[in-house]
Structure 1
Amino acid sequence: MHTGYLIDNYIEFWPSLSLLKSRKTEMTFQLTKSSSLCLSILLLNAPDIVLHSTFMREVWHDEEMSTNILYQNISHLRKGLSTIAGFECGTTMIRTISRKGFCFTSEFCQIQLLEDKTEESSISSPLMEKTDECIGSPPQDNGQLTIADTQTTLHERFLQSKIVSFVLIVSAVIIIYLDHLNSNGYYQSFYENYEPFIKEGDCNIYINKDTFVAKTEAIKKGIAAINCKIYPYIYTTSWQHITSVRMVACPKPLDKESSPFCITYVYRG
């Protein structure tokens, strides 16, 4: 047997099932166990004010618990009442008494006790097990963030700080590495493998003396794609059994520029 309440002649509330049900439609709304207990306390005390401490003591057995949890459950409860009613009435039915508690509005205090005596209850609960944590959001008159919102914000800030830290570390490593290359004469040592080959207009062509294979025509065709007025110094590398020619085009000669901004071309003849 289930004992319930009839609110305002059309909203059924069954505490043992944590269920709200409409008498006008087939609409039902599943409450959490804690929000169901909150509604029971409000109805038993209607239209009197129920203090925050009373909810904490009766529902969670802890008067020191954060009121955010209470506001989340009241918000969920208001949503359920509005859903069953078919219009926004949750905040009208359950009033917030600032810094004190909540009360069930006297206008809706037409409350009757109901009994379902059938052995197999005709009232079914679509979801008997439901988490009580971080459901809904607190009403606007609360003026506080929910724990769920706070945790999400903190998590996002934590991830952002991690990403920023990672980017800074990578940037620092790259700067240190480039400085290391520069201080150890990396670009100068790169240049040491090349020697002047030919000059074509504004293009000063150098060849890699360690791998040089005479591919003059391929080199001339390759530099046609390079703007030698911007990149007049071209360092080419060719191989015996490979038809392609690699060209590194720089705005300044490598023997004089420690950190040139060069571009690389590959010509496949």
Structure 2
Amino acid sequence: MMAKAYLIDGRIIFDPEGSKLSRVVPAGINDIVPLNTPASRCFELLIIRQPEIISQQAMLDFVWGQKGAFVSANTLYQNISLLRKALKALELNNPVKTVSKKGFCLDSSLQISTIDTDTFLPSSHQGKNNNPMVPTYSFIESFIQPRTAIILLSLFSIFLIGYIYFSLQRHNAHQRFFDRYTHFTQSNGCDIFKPIADKATGRYLQYTQSHIINCPDKGSVYLSMPNGKTQVTMVICNKRIGQPEVKCRSFNQLREDENE
């Protein structure tokens, strides 16, 4: 089974198993933010059920399991506060919402997709990261002794339906993020895309004309050049995202100027 992580707004990676947040390509120690286990579990549940409102009790049960009945609400709020501080440190401001008398939810505008770390390995212009995050899922194991075959069949059916539902939700979230890109040119046989919201097409054309961009035959490159920053993010894929068996890698570079 491939290792899984979450890509948030195309720039932050959440590693549930490692209990940490980081930029796609960390430039320094401040770009990797550790989480304690309860805060990490809170964030994982918020992601899984985005944008649903999660009750306080449901959060306690997911994070602490059977011990949740003995954990105070104050402890839960402290961990939510720690999670918010960690997200703010990576410029994700207030994505965790408190809904009065109902619980918590994750901002629906946050674009989240599941990535396979075996094929989506962040790299910088200086070389590949030799220590990629390899998150895995954590499950609370329980053993039951069903009385009848009907109970077993019912439990299996619920699990299967839930697995299919969440798999489709994660896949659709990944697709929706890259739906916000538009094709604007070709270079060395590659289809080049940029964010629809970024109107500075000239800046992207200048970059593609002055840099050699290599990608697989008939591949696609998704460029992101945030205004006011020298960082260029490239997601290079063997085909267009959305097609079967697409495989991608992420690269970061620094451009020398900010000329539009």
TM range (shorter): 0.3 to 0.5
Higher RCO (Cα < 8 Å, 6 or more apart):
2
Judging by fraction of residues, say which structure has more helix.
Answer: 1
Q: TM-score, normalised by structure 2?
A: 0.43
Q: Which has the larger radius of gyration?
A: 1
